[in-house]
Amino acid sequence: MTIELDAATTAVGSPQQVTTWQNFKRLMGYAKVYKTAGIFAVICMLGYASIDVYFLSKLPALIDEGLSGDNPEFMRWAPLFVIVCFIVRGIFHFLSNYCLAWVGNNVVADLRQSIFEHVMAMPVAFHDRTSTGTLISKLTFDTEQVLQATSKSLLTLVQQGAFVIGLLVLMFWQSWELSSIFLVITPVIAIIVTVVSRRFRKVSKNIQNAMGEVTKAAEQTFNGHKVVLSFDGQTRENERFGQINKHNRQQRMKMVATKSASVPIIQIIASFALAFVLYIANLDGFVENLTPGVFMGVVTYMTMLLRPLKLLTNVNSEFQKGMAASISIFELLDQQKEQDTGDVAISRAKGEVVFEQVGFVYPNDDKPSLTDLNLTIHAGETVALVGRSGSGKSTASSLLLRFYQASTGRVLVDGIDINQYKLKDLRNQFAYVSQHVVLFNDTLANNIAYGKPDASQEEIIAAATKAHVMEFAEQLPQQLETNIGDNGSLLSGGQRQRVAIARALLCDAPFLILDEATSALDTESERHIQEALNELQKNRTSIVIAHRLSTIENADNIVVMEQGRIIEQGDHRTLLEQDGAYAQLHNFQFGG
């Protein structure tokens, strides 16, 4: 049975096949839960724009009736009218901004949660080929761009769009002859906005890619800080980051140039329409039927149009940023999660493992990591896998946990193909201790209990004691309740390894995988841990991957691997008597 590892293929069409409207519609799907607040926000935006339009609609009457003295009553109520208009306008402004921001922040929070959960559900092969920095950039920077599209952009589009429509209605209501001039520039503005939108979207995508490179470079260098210092690599890393940073700056300046050019161009075009209106006003007989108030009103409305046109042009860049960011996010969310095809439940395995002619090839790698692997591990046995780096030892354990799936052959647990088990149930059967210890920025106790969060304090202390964690925990300020920092930064390598072993001890799983579990321990600590592991391995099936042969001399079966194949197996004494590959490794480590 051959199973493709590259499961993370795009489930929908490429970004070029998705229109802006389709993308926006999908994004708004996240806002359905908050549609009541969203509708209320839109109503308040329209109310805000309506107050502005209504206020400006009184301008001709102010000139023709109020200032001329024809209607004294008008001027008497004008101060109160101004105050009431601005109070109502202020209320609409606050409610629209607050409600829209509430919807936008909730949408982005949900989107971030979806991204986080989706990334955690992706297969190991996806994480092997995808930079953590790129994923963090999508989770932070890209979602922030989406927030701008769902809040600030929508606010300006609705509010200023309604204001523009209101002003145009007023203009045509007062004088359709003068207002018709404005229609001449509408197609030109539409063409400019279309061209600029495409430019915004293209540059925005480049900016997001550049930000991913910045995050990736920074994360890689910061994580390898000690190596950089040790090999005098500061200058090289500074120069490398400088190039990436420069590229990011250049992309941002392209966005600024496009944005800065589009606004004055549109305003200049609009000014030609306004200038033409003023020119027409000088022609004899054209404005004889217009009162001074109406004429000033139309001119004022045209002037007032310049600012919302500027805002609408500016917001287009923010909107296109959000759309480009959402495309990047949806590309990730459309990739296929880790598949769980199993339907067989298992509470606690008996402990037998069989590899039947198992072959495995990593994605984008021509050379097989495992070839025709046949191995039977009986319940309660301790089997050690030894061999040079790259011989396939860790790959075999990864197949057991279904981090990857065998390219050929099959793996059985208790006589059943592991692909038939429910994935969660299968992984609950294994306690795994890697040579690369992963600890969380949390208390020592919570790190030990990570695999069994409902463990009692007594169980945690018992596991910590067996793993010799209490020896150094008692010296910490708050003992087991001490926060050990990012990835256990407050602990030494050996201490971190002991915490990982205590975590495995507490899980009490039927299978135990130790991948170089004692590699970071000093001789004294290793002796203590080995005693605890010997006790732990009783009545359990243990798979020990080791370079240091001193840790596996008591194993029931020692399997020697070379280039993905088993070349020898047997107990320690038998393999030494054979004087083969194992004996050579032993002589090399112990000097003959």
**pLDDT value for 69:** 56
Q: At a CB cut-off of 8 Å and minimum separation 6, what does 150 contact?
A: 27, 31, 103, 104, 107, 108, 322
Q: Which helix (H) or strand (E) holds 362?
A: none
Question: pLDDT value at position 521?
Answer: 57
Query: Are the CB atoms for 222 and 313 separated by under 8 Å?
Result: no
Rounded to whole angstroms, how far apart are CA atoms 454 and 470?
Answer: 20
Q: Give CA separation, 150 vs 223, 237, 509, in Å.
A: 35, 37, 47
Instruction: State how far Cα 492 lies from the chain centre.
Output: 31
Position of tokens 């940073």?
245
Alpha helices in 391-510 (DSSP H): 393-400, 423-427, 444-448, 457-466, 470-473, 493-507
pLDDT for position 290: 63
39 phi, psi to nearest 5 deg:
-65, -40
SS3 content of the chain, % helix, strand, coil (to 5): 65, 10, 25
The total of other beta-carbon atoms located within 10 Å of residue 79's CB is: 9
What are the Cα distances from residue 253, in Å, to 113, 142, 207, 249? 32, 18, 10, 6
**Range list for CATH 3.40.50.300 in the chain:** 353-590
As a whole number of Å, the end-to-end CA separation of the chain is 45
CATH number for the region 31-333 comes to 1.20.1560.10
- What phi, psi does 170 have (nearest 5°)? -60, -45
pTM, 2 dp: 0.69
Say which CATH topology domain 353-590 has: Rossmann fold (3.40.50)
Q: Which residues of the chain have pLDDT under 50?
A: 1-16
pLDDT of residue 15: 41
Phi, psi of 236, deg, nearest 5: -65, -45
- C-alpha span between 284 and 41 (Å, rounded): 48
Q: How far apart are CA 281 and CA 88, in angstroms?
A: 36
Q: For strand 565-570 and strand 557-562, is the pairing parallel, antiparallel, or unpaired?
A: antiparallel
Dig out the tokens for 220 from the structure: 């890689």
Beta-strand relationship, 382-387 and 557-562: parallel
Torsion angle of the four alpha carbons 557, 562, 564, 565, in this order, in degrees rounded to the nearest 10: -60
Residue ranges of the chain assigned to CATH 1.20.1560.10: 31-333
Q: Are the C-beta atoms of residues 355 and 373 closer than 8 Å to each other?
A: yes
Report the C-alpha gap between 428 and 447 in whole angstroms.
17
Q: Where are the beta strands (DSSP E) in 307-379?
A: 353-360, 370-377
